[in-house]
Structure 1
């Protein structure tokens, strides 16, 4: 398998119609460094993976293996390291987990969606604690989905059916919340993913409105990005149910445009930069990008929910 730091490109696509990548500005090109995974329940296999997170200190890659009700850990080349979890509601068990995030110490947080809680683990999968139960009170959840950790180790949780964002400390204590369709002044149709920029903006993938919403840390709407568009002739900045979000250390924003089978890149101001298809041409694309994470050395990791696979890319300027 190939490393992100030094590699021989497995697949290098050049500008030709709608193959990977589709260029927007400059002469960027996307290299697919690696792909791993297939359908199954053995180590290194997946059943509908959702989100992915990367430990920048160790380059370890964590994947939520949703329908196997577990977390898998790999090195940056895709070599299996360990896994933990099974179906259940006891400590360390999961019921269709979805989101994942890491704190500055390398601890792992997982949104255990159907158990309506957040669980915390060490980097080796040792259970540390949990917070949450079903309900509408502070610190309770109705189906938590995407989660993201800011630089101060505050965890932002999409409390989907309560239409709000909850903030949880690394000690698993409730800090605050904001949101609801009424208080936000806009309708959020079941947002699924969240990311934090280096300047502390909170990004939400408002998937059924086909846009990305930018908020301050206290919930003030700053701006919105995108509009609906679907098909092979769509423009950059148009989406069909955007899901996964990732932000690089310099603020570049990557968005998994699920039903357009592509990833779009924007600069820190939300200006469209480039895009690439995740699998072949638009007509041949059969799979759906879901989760995104930026890694070390400029790598970008993507979960393909229906291909039961993980892709590693690198964007070259």
Structure 2
């Protein structure tokens, strides 16, 4: 990518001691098609109730579920029929269901991996998608926010999958997250993080702030309970962490090409990497 997000470098400690995250506590390095193996994982999320880790296994066209120690439990989505995945990208866990972006639609499963329904089809209209990517849920009303990558927008659906609205005119929206105050959208071409209020009015775009640390190639990001922002910096092989004002807190070197990061209930940082020996790392 041609540009970089430049962030102020003042170090601020906020909520979680990320500076202690230096060496991984757990590494999983099995590559392949087996149950406990991964091939090009693209996204990771944690079920806050059980601590189970859900990983989008892109090349194996499924989601694999591991416990908090990275022990394999089960997988779903690789069978035939309506629930079969094709190039899954991202997922979100909310209450009793899992929503997964893939192909030109959204797949709806329960937490045990049982297929429930498919939402959307190819196109540019309401409930139509052209390469859906990141996905998030507004926990206050269960609205679903979807990065509609090649349609350059965020589509918002109700909890029963009815179209509500859309906003933005992005270049390539990769990821979306919500806090109580803001909607954050990662636009991958600049790269840039846009902050909107909940009326979908742009508040600011974080592209260049001073001469500080640069995020070169952000792939996705996560917002913790303290509004710290963790960015998977694909080309820099690191997780860059900032407070809510985008001041640098810490930078965690990880295995090659991280694609996603999350934080569990025990303040552990969980990372998946696309091309590497250590596909899953826990700090």
The interval holding the TM-score normalised by the smaller chain is 0.7 to 0.9
> 2:135 is matched with which residue?
147
- Counterpart mapping for 1:41-80 below 5 A: 41-80=33-72
Q: How far is the alpha carbon of 1:207 from its aligned partner?
A: 2.1
Does residue 111 in structure 1 map to residue 101 in structure 2? Answer: yes
CA distance 1:258–1:106, change in 2 (3 Å):
same
Flag as ranges the 4+ runs of structure 1 deviating above 6 A. Answer: none
Does residue 39 in structure 1 map to residue 39 in structure 2? Answer: no
Residue 122 of structure 2 aligns to a residue in which SS? coil
For 2:86, which of 95, 103, 106 is the aligned residue?
Answer: 95
* Cα offsets for 1:146-186 (capped at 9, x unmatched): 11112132211000111100112232222221122xxxxxx
Contact kept in structure 1, 2:173 and 2:187, CA below 8 Å: yes
For 1:223, which of 201, 204, 215 is the aligned residue?
Answer: 204
TM-score by length of structure 2 reads: 0.88
* Cα offsets for 1:130-158 (capped at 9, x unmatched): 21000111111011001111213221100
Contact kept in structure 1, 2:133 and 2:146, CA below 8 Å: yes
> 1:214 is matched with which residue?
195
Residue 298 of structure 1 aligns to a residue in which SS? coil
Structure 1: state its 5+ residue gaps. 1-21, 181-187, 229-233, 280-286
Q: How far is the alpha carbon of 1:46 from its aligned partner?
A: 1.1
TM-score by length of structure 1 reads: 0.79
Aligned length: 268
* Cα offsets for 1:62-115 (capped at 9, x unmatched): 000011100011111101111011276x42111101010011x23111001x2x
Partner Cα separation in structure 2 for residue 275 and residue 135 of structure 1: 39
Does residue 204 in structure 1 map to residue 220 in structure 2? Answer: no
Structure with higher RCO (Cα < 8 A, 6+ apart)? 2
> 1:19 is matched with which residue?
none
- Counterpart mapping for 1:6-17 below 5 A: none
